[in-house]
């Protein structure tokens, strides 16, 4: 499944792909909560199901090449030129496509005879899985053109910047006083801060307010008592990130309900110009903004990507326990750790969950 078809024209039609995947309906796909694990399990299940039918012949070695460097953006199941995605719950599903524009006719696979497979030819296999029973509820095989025509264009590519915290640097954080690397605000921001304030009536997603911006020293004391030593369940990074965001917001004094939905954006706790990250691996995903390059931050007047405060919780990969914290303005992250020069990006398209509900018990192609 990881080699393209012998000929670019030999791909199985999407309608036939959907028919072959019909047996998945009702099958159990145990969700672990870990994005990569669940994604890999679905990919294996779809690959095995498709392989039970008549696959196109595999291309011979030397008859093709992958054009994007390191295979970035190329679909995972090359034989049928498909990518697989798990849909669970919520009001909408955010389809994220990494390192290629799904609507673009850019070449992904090139054959020696000049034939090509393009980005806009990739088929999306979206499998909805019930989060309670862990059983497949429906399958949708969609083309990029169908998605654009039905739901709108894919969003502008979001650049994903990264920071590397090596094992040596991580150990340095653990061994720092209080297991924390701390650096204060720059003087311009420090002039706007206060040592103590009641935040119970404030919205932590709101813009920073004069007289309600806590000093970094005040945040440091709160982090030392409430975050270091806390356990963040070792599940998907997004889930743990939301758990940390809720924990920190509550510790700062905001009223936070278990039902609160973390809306994302930058910085996470905008009212305190505080971006929070949780990491148990060397790579920290910085998202759209990188303190390596200074730029104004929308909705956070008076702050740039260099003066926004960063709280990075370093957790144990097995227990989820926070063993150390980095708390500093973005300008100092580069002093402590290493930025990654290579960039990845993603294109996104929201699909209403009602679309999948209409297909309950079915496996369809471009309905």
Radius of gyration of the chain (CA): 23
Region 96-121: mean pLDDT is 92
Contacts of 324 (CB under 8 A, 6+ apart): 170, 173, 174, 176, 179, 180, 181, 228, 313, 314
- Run of H or E including 297: none
Q: What is the pLDDT of residue 263?
A: 61
> Where residue 219 falls among pLDDT bands split at 50, 70, 90?
very high
- Residues 6 or more apart whose CB falls under 8 angstroms from that of 292 comprise 161, 334, 339
Position 168 confidence tier, pLDDT thresholds 50, 70, 90:
confident
So what's the pLDDT on residue 237? 65
Predicted confidence band of residue 159 (pLDDT cuts 50, 70, 90) = confident
Instruction: Find, among 232, 229, 241, the residue nearest to 180 by Cα.
Output: 229
Q: What pLDDT sits at residue 290?
A: 85
Other Cβ atoms less than 10 A from the Cβ of 341: the count is 8
- Check pLDDT > 80 for residue 187: yes
Burial call 36-73: b when 16+ CB within 10 Å, e when fewer: eebeebbbebbbebbeeeebbeebeeeebebeeeeeeb
Is residue 245 within 8 A of residue 262, CB to CB? The reply is yes
Q: What are phi and psi of 339, to 5 degrees?
A: -80, 150
pLDDT in tens, 349-367: 999 999 999 999 999 999 9
pLDDT, position 282: 87
Residue 227 pLDDT more than 60? yes
The mean pLDDT value for 35-53 works out to: 95
Read off the pLDDT of residues 240-251 as tens digits, 9 standing for 90 and up. Answer: 888 899 999 999
Pairing of strands 309-315, 322-329: antiparallel
Share of the chain above pLDDT 90, in %: 73
pLDDT of residue 118: 93
Residue 112, token pair as written in the block? 């020696």
In this prediction, residue 120 carries a pLDDT of 94
For the whole prediction, is pTM greater than 0.95?
no
Instruction: For residue 166, name the pLDDT band (cuts at 50, 70, 90).
Output: confident
Question: In whole angstroms, what separates CA 139 from the centre of its chain?
Answer: 22
Return the closest-CA partner of residue 83 out of 22, 25, 140. Answer: 140
Structure tokens at 341: 């020069």
Stretch 260-274: mean pLDDT, rounded? 81
| Structure-model confidence comparison of residues 260 and 333, the more confident one | 333
Q: How far apart are CA 307 and CA 286, in angstroms?
A: 15
Percent composition of the chain: helix, strand, coil (DSSP 3-state, to 5):
30, 25, 45
Helix (H, G, I), strand (E, B) or coil at 319: coil
Rounded average pLDDT over 11-37: 95
Average pLDDT over all residues of the chain: 92
DSSP string, 63-88: SEEE-SGGGTT--SBTTTTEEEEEE-
Most confident residue range from 113-122, 157-166, 233-242, 293-302: 113-122
pLDDT digits (tens, 9 = 90+) for 276-318: 999 988 888 888 788 888 889 988 999 999 999 999 999 998 8
Comparing CA positions, the residue from 56, 138, 49, 126 lying closest to residue 93 is: 126
Using CB atoms within 10 A of its CB, is residue 272 exposed (0-12), middle (13-18) or buried (19+)? Answer: buried
Cβ pair 210, 233 in contact under 8 A: no
């Amino acid at each position: 499944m990881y080699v393209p078809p012998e000929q670019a024209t030999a791909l199985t039609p999407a309608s036939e792909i959907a028919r072959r995947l019909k047996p998945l309906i009702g099958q159990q796909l145990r969700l672990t909560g870990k994005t990569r694990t669940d994604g890999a399990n679905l990919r294996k299940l779809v690959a095995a199901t498709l392989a039970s039918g008549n696959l196109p012949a595999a291309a011979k070695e030397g008859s093709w090449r992958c054009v994007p460097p390191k295979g970035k953006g190329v679909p995972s199941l090359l034989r049928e030129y498909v990518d697989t995605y798990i849909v669970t719950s919520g009001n909408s599903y955010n389809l994220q496509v990494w390192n290629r524009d799904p609507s673009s006719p850019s070449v992904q696979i090139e054959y020696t005879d000049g034939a090509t497979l393009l980005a806009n030819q990739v088929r999306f296999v979206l499998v909805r899985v019930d989060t309670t029973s862990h059983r497949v509820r429906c399958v949708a095989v969609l083309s990029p053109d169908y998605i654009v025509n039905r739901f709108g264009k894919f969003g502008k590519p979001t650049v994903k910047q990264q920071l590397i915290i090596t094992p040596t640097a991580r150990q340095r954080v653990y061994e720092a006083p209080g297991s924390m690397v701390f650096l204060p605000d720059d003087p311009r921001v420090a002039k706007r801060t206060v040592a103590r304030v009641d935040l119970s009536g404030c919205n932590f997603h709101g813009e920073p307010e004069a007289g309600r911006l806590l000093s970094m020293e005040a945040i440091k004391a709160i982090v030392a008592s409430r975050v270091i030593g806390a356990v963040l369940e070792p599940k998907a990074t997004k889930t743990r990130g939301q758990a940390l965001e809720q924990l920190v917001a509550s510790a700062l004094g905001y009223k936070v309900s278990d039902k609160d939905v973390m809306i994302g954006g930058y910085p996470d706790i905008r009212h305190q110009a505080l971006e929070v990250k949780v990491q148990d691996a060397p790579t920290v995903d910085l998202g759209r903004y990188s303190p390596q390059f200074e730029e104004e931050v929308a909705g956070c007047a008076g702050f740039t990507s260099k003066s926004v405060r960063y709280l990075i919780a370093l957790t144990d990969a097995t227990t989820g326990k926070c063993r150390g914290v980095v708390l500093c303005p973005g300008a100092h992250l580069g002093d402590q750790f290493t930025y990654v020069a290579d960039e990845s990006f993603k294109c996104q398209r929201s699909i209403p969950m009602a679309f999948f509900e209409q297909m309950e018990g079915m496996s369809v192609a471009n309905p």
